[in-house]
Amino acid sequence: MANRLYLYPIWLRIWHMINALLFLALIVTGLSMQYSPVENPLIEFQTAIAVHNIAGILIIAAYIIFMVTNFSSSNKKYYVMKKKGLMDRLMKQSRYYAYGMFKGESTPFPVTEDEKFNPLQKLSYVGVIYILLPILMITGLALLYPEFIVHKVFGLNGTMLTALLHMFMGFLLTLFLLIHLYFASLSKKKFANFKSMITGWHEH
């Protein structure tokens, strides 16, 4: 089976599964706390707070384990962005999604042992793992321990700014999830990518 690649080791799949479930729990409870009406909350406020806090702490723990394992494994190589020709590669991949794909062209960056992500995928994963998730987690922790938050920032309420940043990151990540899910579904065979994320094997 030359066209099978083992790309998703077991620890990665477990992290990913846990991360996805916790993230969904965080989205639902977060939205419920902030937006559901008084009379019939989506989830009871107290329950929502408790679930959100626990899921938040667990997702941070999972993230730390992911970072440590990722850095001590060969998987880290997929998260290195090379600056040279980056723009070109991004344009090429975007052109493929917006045009070439409809023409039946084959992908410009086929999945290989050395490069499992296409340039757009890589950009979004690196952004999510190194920037968005850390900010989300740090602001979340700060809201859990508000005594560490600066009370006033240029005359504005520090907690409010922290909360706004937290919500904005949550929003961007939910948007990421939406797009992530859609592009993961774009495989030749139906659900092939989702299967990969369960078995670990990528099939061409």
Check residue 186 for interaction with another protein (CB under 8 A): yes
* 66 belongs to the binding site for ligand HEM (CB under 6 A): no
Spell out the residues 6+ positions from residue 36 whose beta carbon is closer than 8 angstroms to its own: 42, 43
Q: Where does this chain touch ligand HEC (CB under 6 A) — which range of 12-20, 43-51, 68-76, 108-116? A: 43-51
Part in contact with ligand HEM (CB under 6 A); list of ranges 37-45, 93-101, 149-157, 191-199: 191-199
List binders of ligand HEC among 84-103 (CB under 6 A): none
DSSP secondary structure of 144-177:
HSGGGS-SEETTEEHHHHHHHHHHHHHHHHHHHH
- Residues in region 91-130 near ligand HEM by CB under 6 A: 121, 125, 128-129
Residue 159 lies near ligand HEC (rule: CB under 6 A)? yes
Sole window of 19-27, 41-49, 106-114, 190-198 interacting with another protein (rule: CB under 8 A): 41-49
Task: Tell me the residue length of the chain.
Answer: 204
With CB under 6 A as the contact rule, the residue among 177, 200, 201, 203 that binds ligand HEM is 177
Interhelix angle 158-184/119-127, nearest 10 degrees:
150
- For position 178 contacting another protein by CB under 8 A, the verdict is yes
Tokens of 181: 């899910």
Site string for another protein, 140-169 (x = CB under 8 A): ------xx--------xx-xx-xxx--xx-
Give the phi and the psi of residue 200 in degrees, each rounded to 5. 95, -15
Q: What distance in Å separates the CA atoms of residue 91 and residue 27, rounded to the nearest whole number?
A: 32
**Region from 9-17, 45-53, 106-114, 173-181 binding ligand HEC, contact rule CB under 6 A:** 45-53
Question: In degrees, to the nearest 5, what angle opens at C-alpha 100 toward C-alphas 98 and 102?
Answer: 80
